[in-house]
Amino acid sequence: MSASDAIYLHTVFTSAVQFHTGLGDADITLTRSSPAHLQPLIVANRRTTFVLLHAGYPYMREAGYLTAMYENVYLDIGEVFPVVSRRGQEALMQQLLELTPTNKIMWSSELFFIVSSPRNGNLEGYVRSHR
């Protein structure tokens, strides 16, 4: 990671709140991990930037809806990709792209995967759009 990458990441992490939504470890309660549960918090904090991690899987449509409806919500899809099958990945992207603005989809902002120039480019675009 270069120094400029670190600066961009610092900017993102100090100006946004990330929530691990959907899939995760065995100790989560899946029925309570839908990003839809965050809607009251998002509505009450319109000046806070929210990043929904894990694409909300398996609640992609709920995550996409929140991302589309609220200017302060972004979606990260990075960590879910190595977990689901190729067909699952395709279905995930199809569901997300039904509604989610493509300029609000991020890749691995929680640093699950570090080295990826598309990710860095996505973060740079995200940071630039919020200055």
Q: Which residues sit at the interface with Zn ion, rule CB under 5 A?
A: 20, 53
* DSSP character at residue 30: G
Cβ count near 131 (within 10 Å): 6
Task: Tell me the closest approach of the beta carbon of residue 131 to Zn ion, in angstroms.
Answer: 26
Please count the CA atoms within 13 angstroms of the CA of 131 that sit on its side-chain side.
8
Task: Tell me the closest approach of the beta carbon of residue 57 to Zn ion, in angstroms.
Answer: 11
> Closer to Zn ion at the Cβ: 21 or 72?
21
Pairing between strand 16-20 and 73-76? unpaired
> Closer to Zn ion at the Cβ: 22 or 64?
22
Task: Tell me the closest approach of the beta carbon of residue 25 to Zn ion, in angstroms.
Answer: 9
